[in-house]
Amino acid sequence: MDNGMMRKFEKAKMYAEERDRIQFDSFQVSFAGRNNPHDVSFENGKWQCDCDYFIGRGRCSHTMALEIILHDMLPETITEST
């Protein structure tokens, strides 16, 4: 790495410690559930999962796992809702 890239890398490491700088607006993931794979997405503040539990409750182990992983990087209303 040249000096310029080294400085960017140092800055990147600092940014990576400041998770609240990053807010996810939308994303889609393939979640390897214990029984089946699931398509989980997040768009405009709303979760979507194709598992049966989510359809009935609007929240499931897959979306909650992502909430834990992405803490500080999702809008507050999402992480605090029940």
Pick the closer one to Zn ion by CB: 22 or 32.
32
Do residues 53 and 38 make contact, with C-beta atoms less than 8 angstroms apart? no
- Identified binder of Zn ion from the candidate list 3, 4, 19, 62, rule CB under 5 A: 62
Find out whether 75 and 23 touch, Cβ atoms under 8 Å: yes
- Residue 60 CB, nearest approach to Zn ion (Å): 3
Residue 51 is a binding residue for Zn ion (CB under 5 A): yes
Alpha helices in 1-82 (DSSP H): 3-17, 52-57, 61-69, 76-80
Task: Establish if 66 lies at the interface with Zn ion (CB under 5 A).
Answer: no
54 touches Zn ion by CB under 5 A: yes
